[in-house]
Amino acid sequence: MSITTYQAALDYIYSFIDPTRQGSPDPAIAQRGLDRITALLRDAGNPHQQLRAVVVAGTKGKGSTCAMIEAMARAAGLKVGLWTSPHLSSYRERIQIDREPISQQTLVELVNAVLPVVEGFDGATYGRPSTFDIGFVMAMRHFVAEQVDLAVVEVGLGGRYDAAATITPLVAVISSISYDHMAILGPTLDKIAFNKAGIIRSGQPAISVPQQADAAEVIAAEAQMVGAPLWLAAEPAVEPWVGTTTRLAYPAPPQPGKLHGTFQRENARLAMGAALLLRGQGIAIDDAAIRRGLAEAWWPGRFEVIDGRPRILIDGAHNGDSAVKLWQAIEQELPHRRFILVLGTSRDKDIAAIAAALAPHADHIIITRSSHPKAMDLDRIAAEVEPFASAPMTIVPVVAEAIATARTLAGPADLICVTGSLFVAGAAREALGLAVAD
């Protein structure tokens, strides 16, 4: 079997999607998934063990933090691989080197390279590989083949049982933890934090933003148990946790130049701290590179403002805490007359928490959905939003048409906000001509 076209390569990767396979909070079931990717990587030659890598976990801010770490390392003259998920418009976004998505031809070649590994895999013992497993193996092999100086790896889900847990990172990075994927990671913050903290490794530094007390205690306990120095990326006034070493001396204020939203300052402080710790691990990122990388870092679909009259804001906020921070940032940074909310989300999200944070402020709400199979039904979104809304509500099934409807409703001084899901954010970027789906 040989793959000859990009579309055939995508079809092959996506053929491993199993709609019947569900995540589980049962550690034994979760461990089976980790065993599967570990075995698949072994059969592929353990490329992940040949890389110097930083791993980033957390509920929100992971992608932005990865983008800032990557930009700082690249500004230092390093060749940097970046693995993230999900993608907004193109699968190629998941595998990047120096912020260039992998080419279609190279992806075809990678699929052909891993195809015999996948076809010969012991599925009877470990289960059939997932689409995510195959992508992760391809990314690791690509980074090795291209001899990257550093791989920046975003955790897909959780941390302890994610594919990224196969890596022993130079630095383990944990962004803000809140409630998401509770059916898989657990219903309480300490259980969610337990999953996130699973990326911490013995003797390797870890760094976290300030967390809620339950999560902070779990992270500190994990670091102490495995014997990892734990740092806190916090404002000087914040008291350190028990077990943390503080404080890093930052070479510049943690203010990203292109990533807007007050919450990005927390991510910037985390990314800068990670860069400083990487320096201690032999990755040469000097102060000038930290400043330059922070100024240039960019991550689409996160508080992305499209100037115009009216302005349009695209943000992938997909849980209650993210939505609260989104509204806080809007109040502080985007003065407007009326607020037009375009909202769509996925079936596994807490739409009520998102609606509680945003719907009361809206002058008109447009319910929509992405084309992703996990998109929540329109009627269910509307039913969840209705108790929090005092404004008119319209259902427009297609994101592009929802934005067009919002534009007809909005005046020049109004703000249109498209949010609720990264898939909706991706569809919005395509509708506005900012990306092309392939």
Provide the CATH number for the domain around residue 291: 3.40.1190.10
Domain membership of residue 437 (yes or no) is: no
Show which of 248, 279, 296 is a domain's final residue. Answer: 296
In b/e form, how buried is each residue of 210-242, taking b as 16+ CB within 10 angstroms? Answer: bbeeebbbbbbbbbeebebbbbbbbeeeeebbe
Same domain, 190 and 137: yes
Q: What is the Cα–Cα distance from 187 to 62, expressed in whole angstroms? A: 21
Domain membership of residue 262 (yes or no) is: yes
For residue 348, the model assigns a pLDDT of 83
Which residue is it, tokens 């709609």?
19
Closest among 206, 155, 203, 153 to 180, alpha carbons compared: 155
C-alpha distances (whole Å) from 107 to each of 97, 133, 202 are: 13, 15, 35
For residue 149, the model assigns a pLDDT of 98
Same domain, 258 and 320: no
Domain membership of residue 1 (yes or no) is: no
Q: What is the Cα–Cα distance from 421 to 356, expressed in whole angstroms? A: 16
Same domain, 111 and 250: yes
Q: Are 404 and 374 in contact (CB under 8 A)?
A: no
For residue 238, the model assigns a pLDDT of 76
Domain membership of residue 438 (yes or no) is: no
Same domain, 315 and 226: no
Same domain, 288 and 146: yes
For residue 242, the model assigns a pLDDT of 65
Same domain, 278 and 333: no
Domain membership of residue 114 (yes or no) is: yes
Show which of 296, 328, 353 is a domain's final residue. Answer: 296
Strand partners, 331: none
Burial level of 286, CB count in 10 A (0-12/13-18/19+)?
middle
Same domain, 130 and 182: yes
Q: Are 179 and 319 in contact (CB under 8 A)?
A: yes
Same domain, 278 and 343: no
Per-residue pLDDT of the chain (438 residues; tens, 9 = 90+): 789 999 999 999 999 998 766 677 788 889 999 999 999 999 999 999 999 999 999 999 999 999 999 999 999 999 999 999 999 999 999 999 999 999 999 999 999 999 999 999 999 999 999 999 999 999 999 999 999 999 999 999 999 999 999 999 999 999 999 888 767 788 899 999 999 999 999 999 999 999 999 999 999 999 999 999 999 998 877 777 767 767 788 888 898 999 988 889 999 999 999 999 999 999 999 999 999 999 999 999 999 999 999 999 999 998 999 999 999 999 999 999 999 999 999 988 889 999 999 999 999 999 999 998 889 999 999 999 999 999 999 999 999 999 999 999 999 999 999 999 999 999 999 999 999 888
Same domain, 145 and 11: yes
For residue 185, the model assigns a pLDDT of 84
CA 240, distance to chain mean position in Å, is: 26
Q: What is the 3-state secondary structure (H, E, C) of 195-227?
A: HHHHHCCCCCCEEECCCCHHHHHHHHHHHHHHC
For residue 340, the model assigns a pLDDT of 98
Closest among 404, 437, 375, 420 to 312, alpha carbons compared: 404
What is the count of structural domains for the chain?
2
Same domain, 366 and 417: yes
Show which of 273, 296, 319 is a domain's final residue. Answer: 296
What CATH number is given to the structural domain containing 354? Answer: 3.90.190.20
Q: Are 254 and 61 in contact (CB under 8 A)?
A: no
Note down the domain range covering 327: 304-431
Query: What's the half-sphere exposure (Cβ side, CA atoms, 13 Å) at 110?
Result: 24
Q: Which pTM was predicted?
A: 0.95
